[in-house]
Chains A and B, each alone.
Chain A
Amino acid sequence: MSKKFLVLVSLLLVTAIVFTGCVPKGGDTPKDTGSTPAPAPSTPSTPAPAAEKILRTNNASEPGSLDPALAQGTHESWVLDHTFEGLMKLDKDGKVVPGMAKEYKISEDDLTYTFVLRDDIKWSNGDPVTAQDFEFSWKRALDPDLAADYAFQLYYIKGGEAYNTGAATADDVAIKALDDKTLEITLETPTGYFLELTAFYTYYPVNKKVVEANPDWAKNANTHVSNGPFTLTEWEHNASIKIRKNANYYDAANVKLDGVDFTIIDDVNTAWQGYEGGDYDFLVEIPQAVTAKLKAENNTELVIGGMVGTYYYNLNSKVKPFNNVKIRKGLSMTLDRETIVDKIAQGGQIAAAGAVPFGMFDENGREYRDGVGNLISYNVEEGKKLFAEGLAEEGMKPEDFKKIVLLYNTSEAHKKIAQAAQEMWRQNLGIEIQLENVDFQVKLDREKAGDYHISRAGWIGDYMDPMTFIDLWWSDSSFNDAKYNNKKYDELVFTAKGTADQKVRFDAMREAEKILMNDMPIIPVYFYTQPYAQKSYVTGVFKPLVNYPKLTYADIVK
C-alpha cells in the first residue's frame, strides 16, 4: 500500500518538473522561449516567401569578449567580422577594398596614410561613424590599462608601442582625426600590408560615445553597438548568439541574409550530429574522421577551405645533435609528407613546400610560392647519407636517438602524425625516437625554456603577407622556439620590414625563406586547410585565407 504511495509521490515530483518547465536560462538578455536551434526540419517544406532568411551555425566556443579591441581568436572574430567593419574590408573575392573609408592616400615615403570616410555610414544606434571614433578606438586598444592581448597589432603606428609600454602618452600616438571624416595615420616604418591590416578586427572602430558612457557596453546584446552588416541582438552566455541585419549599414542592399544564429557548442561531434540532423545550415569545425569520410565519398556538402597556416616540428638547435644541419636535413628529407597528408591528416591538407604556405601574393600579384618553388624534398637516399655524415660528425650512433623525445600537445591528430614520423624515421634512418604528450600549456613552457628535443608546433598567419611567417624565426623573435640563429636571415628580415619597395621586400623574403629551408631549424610538415560543411541551399559563402568563412554575402536559396 505505502509502496504505491511512494511511487505516486515520485511520479508527482517528476511530473511537477515537466509541467512547471522552469529550466533556468543560461543568459541574461531578454529573449523568447524558442532560443535554441529549431528542431530538425525533416520535411523539406519551403517556408513562406516572406520567411526570414536566418543561417544557423555553431560557434565552437564562448567568446571571451565581443569588444573588437579585446578579441583574440576565431571564436570572437567570427562574430565580430560580421558585426563590425574597418576602414578597409575584404570583398566577395577576398580583395582588400575600401569599407568604412571611401578613399585613401599614401604619402611618398609610404609612412602617412590619409583615409576619408564614407558619408553614409552609421552605427547601429543611428550615430554617424566618425574619424574621431577610429582615433578613440585605436588609442583605446593600445591603452596599457585596457591590457588588450592583441594591442601589438597596432604597433605599426608611430608611438603605438611606446604608449602600450607606458613610455609615452596617448597623444604621442600618430593617429589624428583631422575632421569628422578624415583620419591621418603615420607609421613607424613603411608597412606594405598596412591597408590590409585595417580590415583586421583589432582595427575595427567602436562608438566613442557609447563606450565612454558605458564601459560594459560589449557585455550584453542590448547595449552592444556596431557598424557592420549585422548587429548583435542576443547573447546567452555559453549557449547562443544571434545577429540580425543592420538596417543602418550602407551596403545593406547586398546583404541577403536576415541574420545568423550561432549556438555555442564545444563538442565537435555533437555539433556534427546537429548538422546531420538538420539543426545547422553551415558548420565550420568538423571532426577529423568525418572530414575524411566525406572526402572519400566526394560529398558535395564538404568544402575544403583555404587557410594560411603551417604545421611543423621545431628542432631545438641548442641540443645535440640538432645543432648539426646534416642531422636536421636528414630528418626532413626522410619524412614522407604526402603519406602523412593523404593517409593520416586526411583533411585535404597540402604537403609543405616550405615555411610559407600557399595563398599569399608577391609584388606582381602572383602566388608567392611560385616565385620560390618547392624548398622541401623527399629523398630517402640523400637523407640517409646526410644523416650518417651528421652522426659521424657528432660522434653519435643511431641507438643514441632512443633518448630523443618528440613533444606534442595532447590531441589524437597530433599523436597520429607523431607516430607516423616516428615510424618513417625508424624505417628510413634506423632510429627509434620516443613520443611524449603533454598539456598544451606545459608544451609552451618547455618550448620557451628550451627544454625539449623535437616539438610539434603550428602557425596560422595573421595577415596576408609572407612576413607573418618569415617574422617567426629571426634570432630574437619571441616565437623562435627552435633557437635558430643566422645573421644573414636576420638581416634579410629587417631589410624586408624596413622598406616599402615591394621588389626589395619580396626579394629579401624569398632569399630568407631559402636560407631557412637550407638550414632546416624547423621541419614543415603540411599546410593547414579549413574544411567546412554547408547544405546545398547555402550560397555565397566566402572563405578568407586568414579567417573563418565570411557569411556576409551568403544566401539561403531553397
Chain B
Amino acid sequence: MKKYLLKRLIMSVITLWAIITITFILMHSVPGNPFAKEGKMPAVVYENLQKKYGLDKPKTEQYIIYLKNLLKGDFGDSMKSRVETVNDMIKRGFPVSAYLGVEALLIALTIGPALGALAALYQNKWPDYLSMIIAIIGISVPSFIMGTVLIQFVAKNISWLPIGGWGEFRHTLLPAFALALMPLAYTARLMRSSMLEVLGQDYIKTAKSKGISKAAVILKHAVRNAILPIVSVLGTLISNLLVGSFVIEKIFGIPGLGLFFVKSIVSRDYTLIMGTTIFYSIILIVMLLLVDIAYTFIDPRIRLTKEGR
C-alpha cells in the first residue's frame, strides 16, 4: 500500500509538471497578449507593462522563474487585476465554488443513485419512467439553459429566491440545483444499469433463497456492488463541481473560481491561466487518487497491491 502510494505520488508530480509545461507552451503560442486591446497604446506603455510583468525576458527564463516561484507556492500577480494576486483570487474564489459544488454534489448524490436504484427495482413501471424522464432532461438540457429557465420562472416568481448575487444561503439554492441536475441524471442512469446487472447475478438469487429480507438483499448485496461505477466517476465529478462552473457562475453572478477559467483565457491573463490550470490539476489528481483508495474499502475484491492476497 505504502509503495503504491509513493509510486502514485511520484507519478502525480510528473503529471503536474507535464501539465504546467504544456500549458505554458500553448498559452504563449496562442495569438494575442494580456495587454493588447482595441486602443491606442503607445509602444512605450506596452514595453513598461512587459517589463513590469517580466514578459520582456526570453521564454525559457520566464518558464524557470515561474517554476521557481511556483515551488514557493506563489502563482504570481494577475496581469489584469492590480488589486489581487492569483493566490488571492484562488483563495477567495475556491471556497465559493467549492461550497456551491458540495451543495450540488449532495443534491446529486442523494437523489441520483436513489432514483436509479428505484428505477431498477421497479423496472418498466412508473418509477422507472419518472427517473428516465428526469435523467433525459438532466442530460440533454445544458446548464446555461437550466440556469436561465430557473431565473425566469422560479426566481422571478418567488421573491425569497434572488435572481443573482452571492452572500446568503438562499443565493446558493438555484445555482446548486442547476449544477446538480447533470450529475444527478448521470448517476441515476449509471445506478440503474449497474443495479439491473447486479440484480441478475447468482449471488443475489443465493441471498434471496437463503431467506434474507428483501431490504437486506438490496442494501447489503445489490447496492454495495452496484454503486461501484458511480464511485469511479466520482473523482472527476467532484473536481468539476468543486472548481466551479463558468456558465453557472456567470449567469448567477457568483464570485467563484469558475469564472476565472474562461475569463483568464479570453483576456490572455497568463499568470491566472497557469494558476487556475495548476490548481484544477492538483484537485483532479488528488481526487482520482482518493477514489482509487476508496475502491478498496467498498469492494474488497480490488486491491491496490498484491500484498493483500
Contact = CB atoms under 8 A, between A and B. Distances in A.
B164 A236 contact: no
Given A237-B255, A238-B259, A445-B31, A23 B168 contact: yes
Contact of A277 (B36, B44, B163, B268): B163
A10 interface: yes
A264 B45 CA distance: 29
Interface string B38-62: 1111111100110110000000000
Contacts of A441: 30-33, 36, 266, 268
Interface string B232-265: 0000000000000000001111010001000000
Contact of B166 (A23, A39, A152, A155): A23
Contacts of A479: 39-40
A18 B106 CA distance: 12
B106 A10 contact: yes
A127 B172 CA distance: 43
Given A26-B96, A439-B32, A39 B160 contact: yes
B219 A3 contact: yes
Given A33-B168, A145-B52, A23 B40 contact: no
Interface string A20-50: 0101111110000111110110100000000
A70 interface: yes
B165 interface: yes
B164 A265 contact: yes
A536 B165 CA distance: 24
A226 to B, nearest CB: 16
B110 A10 contact: yes
B76 interface: no
Interface stretch (B1-9, B151-159, B195-203): B151-159
A549 interface: no
A457 B37 CA distance: 11
Contacts of A273: 151-152, 155-156, 163-164
Contacts of B98: 24
A478 B152 CA distance: 45
Interface in B73-126: 80-84, 92-93, 95-96, 98-99, 103, 106-107, 110, 114
A26 B92 contact: yes
A28 B92 contact: yes
B198 to A, nearest CB: 16
Given A65-B83, A164-B45, A478-B40, A24 B99 contact: yes
B38 A152 contact: no
Sorting the interface of chain A by its residue count into under 10, 10 to 19, 20 to 34 or 35 or more gives 35 or more
B82 A36 contact: no
A218 interface: yes
B159 A149 contact: no
A94 interface: no
Contacts of B300: none
B22 interface: no
A78 B172 CA distance: 29
B92 A165 contact: no
Interface in A455-485: 457-459, 471-472, 477-479
Contacts of B35: 149
B148 interface: yes
Given A144-B48, A277-B155, A478-B42, A267 B266 contact: no
B212 to A, nearest CB: 13
Interface string A128-152: 0000000000000000110111011
B215 A2 contact: yes
A479 B36 CA distance: 12
Contact of A264 (B36, B99, B168, B253): B253
Contacts of B165: 36-37, 239-240, 263, 265
Contacts of A274: 163-164
A267 B93 CA distance: 18
B106 A238 contact: no
Contacts of A14: 106-107, 110
B275 interface: no
A37 B162 contact: yes
A219 B83 contact: yes
A85 interface: no
Instruction: Name which of A21, A24, A35, A37 has the most chain B CB atoms within 10 A of its CB.
Output: A24
Contacts of A458: 38
A86 B148 CA distance: 42
B3 to A, nearest CB: 35
Nearest to A42: B159
A271 B40 CA distance: 31
B36 A64 contact: no
Nearest to B253: A265
Contacts of A27: 92, 255
Nearest to A144: B48
A191 to B, nearest CB: 16
Contact of B82 (A25, A67, A472): A67
Contacts of B166: 23, 26, 36, 239
B192 interface: no
Contacts of B30: 441
A270 B253 contact: yes
Instruction: Name which of B30, B32, B95, B167 has the most chain A CB atoms within 10 A of its CB.
Output: B167
Given A148-B45, A151-B45, A446 B255 contact: no
Contact of A218 (B83, B103, B163, B259): B83
A147 B31 contact: no
B41 A267 contact: no
A267 B250 contact: yes
B133 to A, nearest CB: 22
A513 interface: no
B169 interface: yes
A65 B215 CA distance: 61
A236 B255 contact: yes
Given A1-B215, A441-B36, A478 B41 contact: yes
A253 interface: no
A276 interface: yes
Ranked nearest first, the 6 interchain pairs of A and B with the lowest CB-CB distance are A441-B32, A265-B253, A238-B255, A26-B255, A24-B95, A10-B110
Given A23-B171, A36-B165, A441-B30, 12 more contacts: A7-B114, A23-B168, A145-B52, A147-B45, A151-B45, A152-B44, A161-B42, A267-B250, A271-B253, A273-B163, A276-B156, A479-B40
28 contacts: A3-B218, A6-B114, A7-B110, A13-B110, A21-B168, A23-B99, A24-B95, A36-B168, A64-B82, A144-B48, A145-B52, A149-B45, A151-B45, A151-B48, A155-B42, A218-B82, A240-B165, A263-B164, A265-B164, A265-B165, A270-B251, A273-B152, A274-B164, A441-B30, A441-B32, A441-B266, A444-B32, A478-B41
Interface of A: 1-3, 6-7, 10-11, 13-14, 17-18, 21, 23-28, 33-37, 39-40, 42, 62-67, 70, 144-145, 147-149, 151-152, 155, 161, 164-165, 218-219, 236-240, 263-267, 269-271, 273-274, 276-277, 279, 439-442, 444-446, 457-459, 471-472, 477-479
